A and B are shown apart, each in its own frame.
Chain A
Amino acid sequence: GAGVSQTPSNKVTEKGKYVELRCDPISGHTALYWYRQSLGQGPEFLIYFQGTGAADDSGLPNDRFFAVRPEGSVSTLKIQRTERGDSAVYLCASSGTANTGELFFGEGSRLTVL
């Protein structure tokens, strides 16, 4: 497809488990973002990649969260020892250039931690 693809669309897990969320950006887009959206809130910035490197990871809430983008395309957000407070929709976005604000978002991965 032509848009940003995120998998899984829904993930239910138990407290303490490990979770991986995948993002496949638009082909050729160098900038990739991860955001988290809780109910009634706006998207909360987590991390931004330019190519393979994390240009800004200041939004990651703690060291249980980690993201990679080894080949500058697909990215994986990894959450260790999940907590109930991690329940949210995790949004991925990509952009051909980071300085226009035109981020193309995927539909999100809804994570529920029981």
Chain B
Amino acid sequence: DQQVKQNSPSLSVQEGRISILNCDYTNSMFDYFLWYKKYPAEGPTFLISISSIKDKNEDGRFTVFLNKSAKHLSLHIVPSQPGDSAVYFCAASAITSGTYKYIFGTGTRLKVLA
């Protein structure tokens, strides 16, 4: 049962353009969502998060949008840079119920073309 889904395994974007990575979830108890970035042979690194009480969180070039009714979140990267090329994972947890088990999606490989 895949509770967190990233349906696009890969995405290619031109440098300077917007990258949009999508994530869907099924568990309505999830109340905290995160994006992680992973380079080859390295562990994932935290990028940005959002609580379910918000619908948007912005940090520099990265913005995460949350649509609770659709159980959907997206990560926008503007402008995209070649160094953004990596695998991006979304993750979710049900913090208010005391569950700190973060469930990850299968990842989307982003390639930013120079």
Contacts and interface: CB of A to CB of B under 8 A. Distances in A.
Contacts, number: 62
B49 interface: yes
A43 B93 contact: no
A29 B44 CA distance: 17
Nearest to A40: B106
B43 A101 contact: no
A98 B98 CA distance: 10
5 contacts: A42-B105, A43-B104, A99-B32, A107-B42, A107-B43
B102 A103 contact: yes
Given A43-B89, A107-B42, A108-B43, A101 B34 contact: yes
A93 B43 contact: yes
A56 B100 contact: yes
Contact of B102 (A41, A50, A101, A108): A101
B53 interface: no
Contacts of B41: 107
Contact of B93 (A35, A55, A91, A101): A101
Interface of B: 4, 6, 9, 32, 34, 41-46, 49, 89, 91, 93, 95, 99-107
- 4 shortest A-B CB distances, which residue pairs? A105-B43, A42-B104, A98-B100, A101-B34
Interface of A: 4, 31, 33, 35, 40-45, 48, 50, 55-56, 58-59, 91, 93, 98-108
A110 to B, nearest CB: 9
B89 to A, nearest CB: 5
B43 A91 contact: yes
A105 B44 contact: yes
Given A99-B95, A101-B91, A102-B49, A43 B44 contact: yes
Contact of A48 (B45, B100, B105): B100
A41 B42 contact: no
Contacts of B45: 105
Contacts of A59: 101
A12 B58 CA distance: 43
Nearest to B9: A40
